[in-house]
Copies of this chain bind each other. A is one copy, B any other.
């Protein structure tokens, strides 16, 4: 490839990554609207459905988000009564996020979303798992 062709949009790897990510999230919207969550709120709830209780820092490690993004998201989830926010007794710097019963109930209402989403993606089992593998190889490398 010529040096300056490298600056063409269609020769970038990052661009389809960026565009695909946005388009997938847009596909989620109608499903997430039904349970009145945004995408960021949804992935936050996913961690909490699994962990039940976690502090903001750890949550940010899972989600690749910092407190600047999470603080307002968590306040909104608290307003919706899906989580509680309270300072750790052991170390007052830590804010403990814990899921409420209402928050746990939301998991049941969400259980069909993943399969609805995979129906929107035109990749077969094998392609999906290959894509997954490559994305995590890249992603985990960025952690270091």
Q: Which of B25, B43, B115, B137 contacts A9 (CB 8 A)?
A: B43
Select from chain B the residue with minimum beta-carbon distance to A23: B142
Answer whether A18 and B25 are a contact pair too, CB < 8 Å, given A7-B49, A127-B134.
Answer: yes
Q: Report the copy number of this chain in the oligomer.
A: 2
**Chain A contact surface mostly:** helix
Q: Are the CB atoms of B132 and A137 closer together than 8 Å? A: no
Within 8 A of B (CB), among A108-144: 110-111, 113-115, 117-118, 121-123, 127-128, 130-132, 134-139, 141-142
A: interface residue count bin: 35 or more
Query: A residues near B, CB below 8 A?
Result: 3-4, 6-9, 11-28, 39, 43, 46-47, 49-50, 62-64, 107, 110-111, 113-115, 117-118, 121-123, 127-128, 130-132, 134-139, 141-142
